[in-house]
Each structure stands twice: as structure tokens, then as C-alpha cells.
């Protein structure tokens, strides 16, 4: 059975459902203890910087949210990549809607925004244990970068680093 849906920019009305999906995503990734988004902070994200960061949703025929994605347009001035890059911050499709092309449609929507802004690439991170996501991205034709390892300072360690 084909699932009918449309992709559109998220609105304030979508915040409660996006929040619940984001929480499910954090739980699925085993990162719930680091989950710090609130409905208010999510609303602030939607309203603050629509020029560079955007949230899109997949809406079913009964107006239910089936998935969401957040993406950020980044200006790069690097030795190997100049111009703009598109970074996918989050992507989630509810389990009942998986396998119907919604994740791919969200990616294509973001890719069209990237092309519109003349981005030279689109990137995202995947938790190393999320094998189903890796298989999905491999099937899209994306390439996993294995030549780089991500390092991070995260608060409170960031503050203690400065003070050391």
C-alpha cells in the first residue's frame, strides 16, 4: 500500500510532534541522557534562523507527522572545500512509516535546497551502532567517510578546557 504524504517546512503547530519524534530518536540511538531539547527550545530553533537552519516535515494524508529532518546551510572556507555545504542535523521517520520512501524524499528535498544554494556537498553523522541507518544511506548511494574521526568538546568539558 502506497503511503500518501507531502514534505513541507515545519511550523509552530508541528513542535509537539517533532519534539516527541526527536526524543524517540535520542532513545533509539541510546542518547536519551544527553537529550536536552525542550518544546520551547525547539520552537526557538524554528523561529530564530530560517536563513541557514530549517526543519522540514513529512505530513500524511490525515495531517499526521510521519517524519522530520533538520538541515543547516554552512559557509565553508577550507583548503579542500570552498563555498557552501549542507549539513543534515537530524532525520527521523516514525517506525510505522518506514519503507515508504519518506526518508529518501526528505533527503531529496534537502538535496534540492543544497543544489539551489550551490553547495559542493551534503553531510551528516550516523551513530556507529545504527546499522539500519547506515544500510539506508548506503542504498541511497552515499559514501561513508572513514578517513576522519570526529572529536568533540561538550559542556561542561568545554568550560573546564578553557579554564585549564
Q: Give tens-digit pLDDT for 109-151.
A: 999 999 998 888 899 999 888 888 999 999 999 999 888 888 8
Q: How many residues does the chain have?
A: 164
Q: What domains are there in the chain, each with its CATH number?
A: 5-163 (3.40.630.30)
Nearest to 28 by CA among 98, 87, 104: 98
Predicted TM-score (pTM) of this structure: 0.86
Whole-number Å distance between alpha carbons of 84 and 75: 4
Whole-number Å distance between alpha carbons of 60 and 80: 41
pLDDT band of 156, cuts 50, 70, 90: confident
Containing H/E element for 69?
strand 65-77
Percent of the chain's residues with pLDDT above 70: 95
Which pLDDT score, from 0 to 100, does residue 50 have? Answer: 55
Contact of 86 with 121, CB cutoff 8 Å = yes
Amino acid at each position: 500500500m502506497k503511503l500518501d504524504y507531502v514534505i513541507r517546512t515545519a511550523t509552530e503547530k508541528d513542535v509537539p510532534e517533532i519534539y516527541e519524534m526527536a526524543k524517540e530518536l535520542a532513545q533509539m540511538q541510546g542518547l536519551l541522557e544527553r537529550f536536552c531539547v525542550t518544546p520551547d527550545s525547539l520552537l526557538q530553533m524554528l523561529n530564530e534562523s530560517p536563513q541557514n537552519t530549517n526543519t522540514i516535515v513529512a505530513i500524511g494524508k490525515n495531517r499526521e507527522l510521519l517524519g522530520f529532518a533538520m538541515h543547516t546551510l554552512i559557509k565553508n572556507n577550507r583548503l579542500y572545500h570552498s563555498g557552501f555545504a549542507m549539513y543534515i542535523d537530524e532525520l527521523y521517520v516514525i517506525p510505522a512509516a518506514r519503507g515508504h520512501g519518506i526518508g529518501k524524499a526528505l533527503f531529496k528535498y534537502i538535496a534540492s535546497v543544497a543544489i539551489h544554494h550551490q553547495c559542493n556537498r551534503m553531510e551528516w553523522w550516523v551513530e556507529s551502532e545504527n546499522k539500519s541507518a547506515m544500510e539506508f544511506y548506503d542504498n541511497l548511494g552515499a559514501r561513508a567517510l572513514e578517513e576522519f574521526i570526529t572529536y568533540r568538546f561538550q559542556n561542561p568539558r568545554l568550560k573546564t578546557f578553557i579554564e585549564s
